[in-house]
Structure 1
Amino acid sequence: MMNDTLSPGRILRLSVLTIGAIVFLAPYIFMISTAGKAQSDIFSSSLSLIPQTWFYVENFSKALSRVSMGSLLLNGVVVCGLILIVQVVVAIPCAYAMAKLSFRAARLMMALVMLGLLVPIHATALPLYVAFDKMSALNSYFALVAPFSISVFAIFLFLQFFRGIPDDLIHAARLDGMSETGIVMRVIVPNAWPAITAFSIFSVVAHWNDLFWPLIVVTNQAYATPPLGLLYFRAAEAGDDYGALMAATLIITLPLVLAFLFAQKRFVEGITMTGLKG
């Protein structure tokens, strides 16, 4: 038991994981440290993670007063929530049809899904912007949500998961008189929560942190999302006050960290089961 615990392979794995964790956590640790420093500490010649003078209260007060932080967080929740709901509602029936129903266009649909994974939002940004401008829909939740309402990644992820659900379970539901809609709602969705949770983390993190699209379609600060609000904060209000800027960044990133910690078990389970049942 002792030899297995201290085996070279195990030590190597733990060392690699520790180094990786330090690399990924270093920016966040630096951000927490900077959020509690005065300007003199931030621009001093010596690098120290522990602030010489604790300025957390002052920096967080500036962050909350210089921009409408509550409005930014609310916009982020509304936009990410609407995008996630629409994506899941659209993706689950599509993935179910491709995984469990037989129709002629199944291979074509699969090819389109794979092709869709290769098309970034940047490639369609200009025509989408022109379309929303013609519709007078800029500076609205609709402009922020609509381009992401169909997620080919969600369809692909759910497709891989649904392929692992036994066909006998679906056949039994049909023998009981369930419609295909009933099967999706009462059989597929209750068994798909690990995959839904895993995709929810991907979707919320991606759209909460997205700056590219809001920067294009939003000029009214009333509809600003958290990353766009930070841009306004830095350019218009904060100047070179990096302590307050880091405090604002912490406030905006904290919901993502808490959400991931809360859903971590389901997230790992969903990714593992989706990968094994491909």
Structure 2
Amino acid sequence: MATLRTHNITFGRMIRLSVLCLIALIFFSPYIFLISTAGKAQADIFTSSLSIIPQHWYFVENFTKAFDRVNMPQLLWNGVLVCGMILILQVIVAVPCAYAMAKLKFRAAQTMMMMVMLGLLIPIHATALPLYVAFNNLSLLNSYTALVAPFSISVFGIFLFLQFFRALPDDLIHAARLDGMSEMDIVTRVIVPNAWPAITAFSIFSVVAHWNDLFWPLIVISKQGFATPPLGLLFFRAAEAGDDYGALMAATLIITLPLVLAFLLAQKRFVEGITMTGLKG
């Protein structure tokens, strides 16, 4: 019986592992196609037979074209700068707000919670036109301010931190108050050090969303010097011989690689943050 049970457990694990591998392959297949196309010549891409392994290796040529046709370091720097500024402002605003709603008692708490929930329902598309008019009147189009300012407050971040802070013991807050700490000291010296898993999880969501955002930069940016990575790909496609899909896929690979590396480095904290905030998939 023990041997049979061991075999059954092993067989069951193999089935589960096979299913998980199949699902992972399905989700990873676009990236495989991206890498494959980045290493192909133009003639190999449009052949009738689809092959993952390139017949002629053109990785060096395609990556060279990607760097020659578009200012790739500038695009990456713009992406890092914009996403970093947005993330810092969002955390600075969301953490104290979520702490107040989770641990302080005041009359407007329920109203603020309703406003946060309503804010989650309003997409950026609904406010794009008035924001564009406002930035145009202030002569702030084609600037980092236009890219960062509309996203400096994240209602999703407030909601996520709120769920996390509610799980923190009240005794920790009371002990800090007995030690003479102000509410701002509690936030900076007690709440933030204990909230790093949630902050890391939110950072992944924020950076991925704004790094990949094309809608808003396409509206407020028309100069390549302020272009974010996705918008830079449009400039790449609009360049001379922009139908060179091998070089385009190479540029796309360069742009997506930082996100993959960032997630791999922060995946442990990311899973902890999602689990502890109760936002399980």
TM bracket, shorter-chain basis: over 0.9
Is the 2:69–2:239 contact (alpha carbons within 8 Å) kept by the matching residues of 1?
Answer: no
Is the 2:214–2:230 contact (alpha carbons within 8 Å) kept by the matching residues of 1?
Answer: yes
Partner of 1:242: 245
Report the Cα distance in structure 1 between the residues aligned to 2:159 and 2:16, rounded to whole angstroms: 31
Report the Cα distance in structure 1 between the residues aligned to 2:180 and 2:134, rounded to whole angstroms: 44
Partner of 2:217: 214
Change (3 A) 1:240 1:131: same
Please state how far the C-alpha of 1:16 moved relative to its aligned partner.
3.6
Q: Deviations over 1:236-273 (max 9, x none)?
A: 23422000000000000000000000001000110011
Q: Deviations over 1:108-154 (max 9, x none)?
A: 11111011000000000000000000100000000000000000000
Report the Cα distance in structure 2 between the residues aligned to 1:168 and 1:237, rounded to whole angstroms: 64
Partner of 1:69: 72
Q: Deviations over 1:65-112 (max 9, x none)?
A: 111000000000000000000000000000000000000011111111
Please state how far the C-alpha of 1:276 moved relative to its aligned partner.
7.5
**Partner SS, residue 44 of structure 1:** coil
Report the Cα distance in structure 2 between the residues aligned to 1:234 and 1:58, rounded to whole angstroms: 17
Residue 35 in structure 1 maps to residue 45 in structure 2: no
Report the Cα distance in structure 2 between the residues aligned to 1:14 and 1:272, rounded to whole angstroms: 23
Is the 1:160–1:274 contact (alpha carbons within 8 Å) kept by the matching residues of 2?
Answer: yes
What amino acid maps onto 1:6 in structure 2? F
Q: Deviations over 1:152-177 (max 9, x none)?
A: 00000000000011000000000000
- Calculate the aligned-residue CA RMSD, in Å: 1.3
Partner of 2:9: 4
**Partner SS, residue 6 of structure 1:** helix
What amino acid maps onto 1:129 in structure 2? Y
Residue 123 in structure 1 maps to residue 126 in structure 2: yes
Work out the number of aligned pairs and report it.
Answer: 275
1:192-211 aligned within 5 A: 192-211=195-214
Is the 2:65–2:247 contact (alpha carbons within 8 Å) kept by the matching residues of 1?
Answer: yes
Residue 177 in structure 1 maps to residue 180 in structure 2: yes
Report the Cα distance in structure 1 between the residues aligned to 2:121 and 2:104, rounded to whole angstroms: 25
Residue 161 in structure 1 maps to residue 164 in structure 2: yes
What amino acid maps onto 2:64 in structure 1? S
1:257-268 aligned within 5 A: 257-268=260-271
Report the Cα distance in structure 2 between the residues aligned to 1:56 and 1:147, rounded to whole angstroms: 38
Report the Cα distance in structure 1 between the residues aligned to 2:134 and 2:122, rounded to whole angstroms: 18
Report the Cα distance in structure 2 between the residues aligned to 1:106 and 1:19, rounded to whole angstroms: 46
Report the Cα distance in structure 1 between the residues aligned to 2:54 and 2:240, rounded to whole angstroms: 24
Report the Cα distance in structure 2 between the residues aligned to 1:66 and 1:276, rounded to whole angstroms: 42
Residue 257 of structure 2 is aligned with which of 227, 230, 254? 254
Report the Cα distance in structure 2 between the residues aligned to 1:154 and 1:12, rounded to whole angstroms: 38
**Partner SS, residue 50 of structure 2:** coil
Is the 1:205–1:256 contact (alpha carbons within 8 Å) kept by the matching residues of 2?
Answer: yes
What amino acid maps onto 2:206 in structure 1? S
What amino acid maps onto 1:154 in structure 2? G
What amino acid maps onto 1:54 in structure 2? W
1:85-164 aligned within 5 A: 85-164=88-167
What amino acid maps onto 2:10 in structure 1? T
Residue 82 in structure 1 maps to residue 85 in structure 2: yes
Q: Deviations over 1:185-230 (max 9, x none)?
A: 0000000000000000000000000000000000111100000000
**Partner SS, residue 167 of structure 2:** coil
Unaligned runs of 5+ in 2: 1-5
TM-score normalized by the length of structure 2? 0.95
Is the 1:161–1:273 contact (alpha carbons within 8 Å) kept by the matching residues of 2?
Answer: yes
Q: Deviations over 1:36-91 (max 9, x none)?
A: 00111101111100001100000000000111000000000000000000000000
Is the 2:38–2:58 contact (alpha carbons within 8 Å) kept by the matching residues of 1?
Answer: yes
Q: Percent identity?
A: 79
